[in-house]
Amino acid sequence: MNIDSIKNGYVIDHIQAGKAMKIYELLNLNELDCQVAIITNAKSKKTGRKDIIKIDRDIEIDLDKLGFIDPNVTVNIVKDDCIVEKRKLSLPEKIVNVAKCQNPRCITSVEKSLDQVFYLTDRENQVYRCKYCEMSLKTK
């Protein structure tokens, strides 16, 4: 298999196997008019298998969304064929419009224009709580 290197853009690495398409959809990568490579089930020394996404353009990436989906992701920033920065992500303290509250009595189920806001309340167990109704959301 031959996947070209990228000149300027991002390599999203160490994605948990099977989560690359979720990231692709959440970041709206289908709307880009540049090359986007998705590699699934690549061999990994740390985890056995991983996914990788290569984006051949310098775009705005919401690191909070990435950290929420998979806090173990590494984002490599590439400029002129060289990795100039590596960012290791973690669970964000706050997420906005990434997940929806499942409580049917929550104000967000009635007021559709309200942002879906969750705050991290338990990092170890990856638990978030809705800003409005306190309903818990687990990422695991």
Task: Please give the model's pTM, rounded to 2 decimal places.
Answer: 0.84
* Cβ count within 10 A of residue 53: 24
Residue 3 predicted with pLDDT over 80: no
* Range 9-88 has CATH code 3.40.190.10: no
CA separation for the pair 77, 118 (Å, rounded)? 28
Residue 47 predicted with pLDDT over 90: no
What is the reported pLDDT for 1?
60
Each domain of the chain, given as residue ranges in start order, spans 9-88, 94-138
**Mean pLDDT, residues 113-126 taken together:** 95
Give the fold, CATH level 3, of 94-138: SH3 type barrels. (2.30.30)
